[in-house]
Structure 1
Amino acid sequence: MAKRTAIIDIGSNSARLVIFEKTSRYGFHLICEQKSKVRIGEGAYEKEGYLQPIGIKRAFLALQSFLHTINKYQVKKTICVATSALRDAPNGKLFIKWIKKELGLSIKIIDGNKEAAYGAIAARNLLPVKDAITIDIGGGSSDIALIQNGNIIKTYSLNLGTVRLKELFFDKTLPIKEINQKAKRYIHTELKALPFEFKSALAIGIGGTARTLSKGIMKHSGYPLDKLHAFSYDIDAFSDYLQAIPLSSAKNLKKFNLKKSRYDTIREGTLIFNEILSYIEAKSVITSSVGVREGVFLEHSLKQDKLRFPKEINPSIISILDRFKPFINIEAKKRNRLKIATSLYAELQDEIADHQAYHQELLWALKLSTIGKTLTIYKSHQHAFYIAMQELNYGFTHQQILLISLLLRMHGKELLHKPLFQSFKSLLPPKAQLLWLSFVYTLTVLLYEASNSAKITFSYTNQTLTIYSDKPLYLVKEKIKSLKKPIPFAIIIEDKERLPKCKALGI
C-alpha cells in the first residue's frame, strides 16, 4: 500500500478527508484531517430524495479543496466513498459522473451494510473490545455491526439519520414533546426490523453524535483525561442527561456542554442513540474516534492479514517506535530488558501483591523507555511522557495509557509525580502498587543501561533484594544508593567484578 493514503468520506451531513502515513507494515499515523459540513442531503428527504443545488454546490467546493490538500501532501493513493445521501438520491449517479469529469475524483457508493462493516473493522482493530455492537448514526442512516470475540458476525443498516429526522419531524412547528413522540414511533418502527441477535451490554459509539455526547459527558462529569477515543461511561449514570437533550429547545442546548456546531442535529441524533441503546439492551458505551475512514484504510492495509492486526501487534506502539527510533534497536537486547523486568516483577510479588496484573503495561513502557531521547537526553523522561500521552491512541484503555505514560515519566529520583497522580488518581492503580511498578520500571532501566547484555537474576527474602549478574555492575552500585524505594528494604549486588593487577600502580 502507498506510504500516504487519503480517504474521503462523503456523508449526508459532513464530508471528511483524512491522510494516513504508513511507517512500516503495521505502523501508521494520521497526518492530516479536514472536515466540511456540506449537508449534501439538505432538502432531499422532502424532494423524493433528489440532491438539491445548495448541497451539491457545497459538496463540489469541499471536494475541490480536499484535492488541493491531497496534492500538497503528495499522496499516492486516494479512496473516496459516499454513504446514504448519495445512494438514496435518484440523481446520485449523475453527481458522481459530474465530479469525475470536473475533478477527476472517483466516488464509490457503499451501502449501509458495508458502511457498518467499515466501522466494525476500525473498532475491533483500534479499540480494546471483543464483544460489542457498533452504532454509527449518520445524516441518513444508522449503521450497526455485531462483534463477538473480535469477529464481525452481522451488520445492519437502519433508515434512521439525524438529517432525516430533522426534516421529517424536528423542523416542524409543533411542541417538542409531540415531536419526540412522533419521532420515537418512527424510530421504533425501524428498529423492529433489526435482527433479534443484536443484543450486547457494550455499545461502541461511532460518528459525530456519539462523540459529541461523550465530550459533553466528559465535561459534565469533570473527567480528568482529555482524550475521547476509548472513553467509556455507564448509561444509567448519565440517563437523565441523555434523555433530556431531545426534549430541550434549541436555545437551551448550551447547558449540556455540547459543541455549538452540533446544535442543529444533536437532539435528533441523541434520540436515535437513546432508542437504539435501549433496544439492544446496552449497559455501557465506549467511544470511538475511528470509523468508516479508518475501516477503508485498514481494509487495504491489512488485506494479507484477514483485516486484523496480529495478536501481538499494537499499531500505536509500532508507529511510535518507527518514528521516534529508540536507541535500543537490537531485538536480543530488547528481549533481555523485558526479561529483567518480568523476573523482577515476579520476584517482588510478596510485597506488590497485584498478581502481576500490570505486566503488559510494564513491558509496553519499557519498549518505549528511550523515545524521549530522540528529542534530547535532557529531561527525556518528560518528553517520553508527553509523546505517550498523545500517541498511545489505538487498542488501549484510558487506564492503560495513563499507567504507561506515568511509568515513562519516572527517572529514579522519584517514584511518583504527585501532581500527575492527583490529577489522574481515579484512573490509576492504588498508590502502593503504582510505587512498586515505578520501582520495577526504574530499576530495570538502570540495570539495562549499566549492564547491557549481562545475565541478571533476583531473589527477595527477609526484606533484602539480591541482584545476581554474570558481568560487572559497578555503575549500578553507585546509582542504586540514591534509588527511591516503595518501602525500606536492602539491595545487595553480587556480580562478577574483575580488576586486573598492576604492580606499578600498587593494585
Structure 2
Amino acid sequence: MQKNYYAIIDIGSNTMRLVIYVQEKAGRLREVENVKAVARLRTFLNDRNELTEAGIDRLLETLQSFQDVLTIYKIEDVECVATATIRQANNQDEIKDAVKKNTSFTMRILSDQEEAFYGYLAVVNSTSITEGITVDIGGGSTEVTYFKDRELIEAHSFPFGALTLKEFFSSTIPTDEELEQLQKFLTKEFHSLPWLANKEVPLIAIGGSARNLVQIDQNIKKYPLAGLHQYRMYDTDIKEVSNYLVSQKEKKLAKVEGLSKDRADIIIPAIEVFHSLYQVTQAESFILSRKGLRDGVFYEKLSEQIGTLLFPNVLEDSIQELINDYDLAPKQIMHVQYLTRKLFDSCKQNGLANFSKQDWMLLKRASYVCNLGEYIDAESSAQHTFYLLANRTIDGLMHKERLKLALIASYKNKTVFKQFLQPYKSWFLKEEWKKLKYLGSLLKFSYCLDATKRQIIQDIHIKVTQKKVILTLYCVQDWMPEEYQAEKQKKHVEKFIKKDLELNFVPLKKA
C-alpha cells in the first residue's frame, strides 16, 4: 500500500524543526521523522530589527540540511512556515527571497493570529478538552487563546518569548529580585487581557519549554508511565520545578534530567510564564499538549479532505488507529461489545453490581482493544496489552484514563491485575481499583464467550435466584470451546456478583 508523506518546516525564534508525517489508514497523520536545529535566529536581529547576513546564512544552512533529509522520502507536500523572529524582522522580504533563491522551499510568514490559531487547532484535535486556555511560548513571542465548546473565542500574541524574557536576568540563575521583577511584568501583561482573568479552566501548554517542564517533573516524581501528551500538573508542581531549577548552580543546570541542554538558559523565564498565567487564570490544572503549531497547520490541510476543521471525535479516531495498527477484527469487537453490554445491563438491573454510565463508557472503550497484545504474542497477551495501552499516547485520554483502559482491557486474573496495578496503586481509592477489576473480569468473560471468533452466542438470558445466577446462552453452532473457556473464567465474575454462576449453553431455536 502506497504511503503518503507530508513535511513541515517550522522556523522558530529559538529552534527550527523539520517534521515528516505519514497518513494513516484512518486519515490521521503520524510523525515519522523529527529533526531539530538550534538556530537561535532571535539573536541575529540587529539594532534596526533586521536579520543580519549571518542570521540569513544560519537560516539557509539549516534549510539546506533539511532539504537533504527530505530526499529519502517521496513527499506529497512541504509546508515551510516562520514565526515571531521573521515576522518581526524589518527585512522579511529579503529573507523570503533568499529562501526562494537558495532552497526549494517557499516560506510562509505566519501572522500572530495564525500562529495562535494553529496552536488552538492542534489542542482541540488531539485532546477531549472542550474549554480551556492555550499558551505557546516561543523564543520571541507568546500566544494565548481561549476556546469554549471547542470553538475559538479569543486569541492574542504577546511580543515576548523565552529568549527576550531572559534579559530580565543578569545570569542564567536569577536573583530573588530579578525573579520578582519578571513575575510582576508577566502578571501585568496577562491582566491586560480581561478574558484571561479567573477563567478556572485547564491551561494547556504547547512547545519545547512546556515539554521540558513536564519531563523535569516526571523525573523528580519518578513517574511510572511513558508519554508527555495530556500529562497533568498543578500550581504547586510548577512552583516545585521552578524552585528546584533556581536552587541549582549554573554549571549543573544543563545536566538536570529532562532538560534539553539548549534550553538551560531559557527554561526558568519560560516556567514563570506558565506559573504567572496559571495564577491569573486561576487554572483548573496545567496540561501539556505535544501537538502544537506544526500539527495545527496539517490539521488545517486534513480539513480539506474531511470537510471540517474540527475532528468530530478525537478519542474514537485514536481507538480506530489502535484497531488498524494491531489488526484487530471489527466483527469480533462488535460481538464482544454486544455480549458485554448484555451482561453489564443484566448485572445492573438485577442489583448484582453498582455500575454507572461512566463505567459503561470505560468498558466500551476497553472492548475495542481487549487483548490487542495477541498481535505480539498470544501467550503473554495480557502483559503486552497492558504495556501498549498504558504507555502509548491515546489522543483524547488523560494519563489516568489511559491507565484505567489498560487495566480493564488486559484483565486476565486477580494476581496479574494486582501486578499491573502495583506501581499506580496510590492513584486510586480502593473502591476505584476494585471497580476496575470487576469491569475487567466482566470483559474477559465476554471475550471467552467468543473464544473461537465465530460469534456463535446470539443471545443471553439471566435468571437470579437467592443463591446463584443462571446464565442461559443461546448458540447457533457447537459451543464446546466457548463453554470450556467461560467455565475457566466465571470464578472471577462470581467474586463480584457474590453468587455462584451457572452456565447453560443451549441451541438457538429457529423461528
1:372 partner SS:
helix
Separation of aligned partners in 2, 1:52 and 1:245: 33
1:449 partner SS:
coil
Quick one: which amino acid aligns to residue 49 of structure 1?
Answer: N
Separation of aligned partners in 2, 1:245 and 1:52: 33
Number of aligned residue pairs: give it: 492
State the Cα distance separating 1:374 from its structure 2 match: 3.3
The answer to whether the 8 A contact 1:456-1:467 is kept is no
User: What residue in structure 2 maps to residue 343 of structure 1?
Assistant: 342
User: What residue in structure 2 maps to residue 504 of structure 1?
Assistant: none
Q: Any idea what the Cα deviations from partners look like across 1:140-189, whole Å, max 9, x if unmatched?
A: 111011011222111111112011122x3325699723433443454345
User: What residue in structure 1 maps to residue 283 of structure 2?
Assistant: 282
Quick one: which amino acid aligns to residue 323 of structure 2?
Answer: L
Quick one: which amino acid aligns to residue 294 of structure 2?
Answer: R
- The answer to whether the aligner puts 1:17 opposite 2:27 as a matched pair is no
Separation of aligned partners in 2, 1:312 and 1:176: 44
- The answer to whether the aligner puts 1:495 opposite 2:508 as a matched pair is no
2:75 partner SS:
coil
User: What residue in structure 2 maps to residue 220 of structure 1?
Assistant: 220
- The answer to whether the aligner puts 1:6 opposite 2:7 as a matched pair is yes
Separation of aligned partners in 2, 1:89 and 1:415: 63
User: What residue in structure 1 maps to residue 439 of structure 2?
Assistant: 437
User: What residue in structure 2 maps to residue 502 of structure 1?
Assistant: none
Deviates most, 342-351 or 93-102: 342-351
User: What residue in structure 2 maps to residue 505 of structure 1?
Assistant: none
Separation of aligned partners in 1, 2:298 and 2:100: 21
Consecutive unaligned residues of structure 1, counting only runs of 5 or more, are: 499-507
Quick one: which amino acid aligns to residue 235 of structure 1?
Answer: D
The answer to whether the 8 A contact 2:8-2:79 is kept is yes
Query: Equivalent residues in 2 for 1:436-455 (5 A)?
Result: 436-450=438-452, 452-455=455-458
1:48 partner SS:
coil
User: What residue in structure 2 maps to residue 138 of structure 1?
Assistant: 138
Q: Any idea what the Cα deviations from partners look like across 1:19-66, whole Å, max 9, x if unmatched?
A: 22222344432222221111111142x633222344433332322222
Q: Which runs of 4+ in 1 moved over 6 A?
A: 172-175
The answer to whether the 8 A contact 2:26-2:321 is kept is no
1:358 partner SS:
helix
Separation of aligned partners in 1, 2:467 and 2:101: 77
Separation of aligned partners in 2, 1:104 and 1:238: 42
User: What residue in structure 2 maps to residue 73 of structure 1?
Assistant: 73
Quick one: which amino acid aligns to residue 319 of structure 2?
Answer: I
- TM-score with structure 2 setting the length: 0.87
The answer to whether the 8 A contact 1:19-1:31 is kept is yes
Separation of aligned partners in 2, 1:343 and 1:211: 43
Quick one: which amino acid aligns to residue 475 of structure 1?
Answer: P
The answer to whether the 8 A contact 2:140-2:162 is kept is yes
Q: Any idea what the Cα deviations from partners look like across 1:289-334, whole Å, max 9, x if unmatched?
A: 11101111111112334211123763321222223222x234xx54
Separation of aligned partners in 1, 2:241 and 2:414: 41
Q: Any idea what the Cα deviations from partners look like across 1:106-129, whole Å, max 9, x if unmatched?
A: 111112221111111111121231
Separation of aligned partners in 2, 1:381 and 1:173: 48
- The answer to whether the aligner puts 1:479 opposite 2:485 as a matched pair is yes
Separation of aligned partners in 2, 1:186 and 1:452: 65
Separation of aligned partners in 2, 1:19 and 1:175: 38
- The answer to whether the aligner puts 1:89 opposite 2:89 as a matched pair is yes
The answer to whether the 8 A contact 1:200-1:281 is kept is yes
User: What residue in structure 2 maps to residue 316 of structure 1?
Assistant: 318
The answer to whether the 8 A contact 2:173-2:249 is kept is no
User: What residue in structure 2 maps to residue 200 of structure 1?
Assistant: 199
2:506 partner SS:
coil
Quick one: which amino acid aligns to residue 485 of structure 1?
Answer: H
Quick one: which amino acid aligns to residue 153 of structure 1?
Answer: I
Query: Equivalent residues in 2 for 1:26-425 (5 A)?
Result: 26-44=27-45, 47-166=47-166, 168-171=167-170, 176-196=175-195, 199-201=198-200, 202-236=202-236, 238-242=238-242, 245=245, 250-251=250-251, 253=253, 257-261=257-261, 262-303=263-304, 304-311=306-313, 314-326=316-328, 328-330=329-331, 333-349=332-348, 350-369=351-370, 371-411=372-412, 413-414=413-414, 416-425=416-425
- Counterparts in 2 of 1:12 and 1:356: CA distance versus 1, 3 Å: same
Q: Given the alignment, which residue of 469, 474, 488 partners 2:473? A: 469
- Counterparts in 2 of 1:247 and 1:481: CA distance versus 1, 3 Å: closer
1:470 partner SS:
strand
Deviates most, 127-136 or 385-394: 385-394
Q: Any idea what the Cα deviations from partners look like across 1:351-392, whole Å, max 9, x if unmatched?
A: 442424232232222212353333443433333333333444
The answer to whether the 8 A contact 1:416-1:438 is kept is no
- TM-score with structure 1 setting the length: 0.88
- Counterparts in 2 of 1:10 and 1:491: CA distance versus 1, 3 Å: same
State the Cα distance separating 1:82 from its structure 2 match: 0.9
2:17 partner SS:
strand
The answer to whether the 8 A contact 1:464-1:492 is kept is yes
Quick one: which amino acid aligns to residue 454 of structure 1?
Answer: I
The answer to whether the 8 A contact 1:138-1:162 is kept is yes
Deviates most, 84-93 or 245-254: 245-254
State the Cα distance separating 1:199 from its structure 2 match: 4.3
Deviates most, 176-185 or 241-250: 241-250
Separation of aligned partners in 2, 1:232 and 1:52: 41
Quick one: which amino acid aligns to residue 492 of structure 2?
Answer: K
Quick one: which amino acid aligns to residue 324 of structure 1?
Answer: Y
Separation of aligned partners in 2, 1:463 and 1:223: 45
Quick one: which amino acid aligns to residue 361 of structure 1?
Answer: L
Separation of aligned partners in 2, 1:165 and 1:410: 50
Quick one: which amino acid aligns to residue 19 of structure 2?
Answer: V
